[in-house]
Amino acid sequence: QVHLQESGPGLVKPSETLSLTCTVSGYSISGGYYWGWIRQPPGKGLEWIGSISHSGTTYYNPSLKSRVTISLDTSKKQFSLKLSSVTAADTAVYYCARASPTDWFDSWGQGTLVTVSS
């Protein structure tokens, strides 16, 4: 059974870059699935940030595209998120998830809270 675990700093200063990593176990990250990042501001709903295919093709939410980079490291069984120029509006629980090739998310990490504050 696939397991995903987010890791990274829980506090980021405004204007800096948020960096998170998702470690995948129980499934080959090079398999046919996609890998995504979704976030949830406190008390609010879910927002898709972007996804990366097993071959490295990326898909980003246009609302965040200018600030987002998602990458894949198959040797470490990880994929990563970088979000630049963060503000308080980027404070959220960040989830990594596995997506089918048609993009429904079938396995989720437990999430990690990232707070943007000086």
Partner 1 sequence: AIQLTQSPSSLSASVGDRVTITCRASQGISSALAWHQQKPGKGPNLLIYDASSLQSGVPSRFSGSGSGTDFTLTISSLQPEDFATYYCQQFNSYPLTFGPGTKVDIK
Which is nearer to partner 1, 10 or 15 (by Cβ)?
10
Nearer to partner 1, 16 or 67 (CB): 67
* Residue 100 binds partner 1, judged by CB under 8 A: yes
Q: How far apart are CA 73 and CA 55, in angstroms?
A: 11
Residue 66 has what DSSP assignment? G
Does 105 contact partner 1 by CB under 8 A?
yes
By CB under 8 A, the residues from 51 to 80 that bind partner 1 are 51, 59-63
In the chain, % helix, strand, coil (3-state, to 5) comes to 5, 50, 45
Task: Lay out the site mask for partner 1 across 34-53 (x = CB under 8 A, - = otherwise).
Answer: --x-x------xxxx--x--
CB 85 within 8 A of CB 15: yes
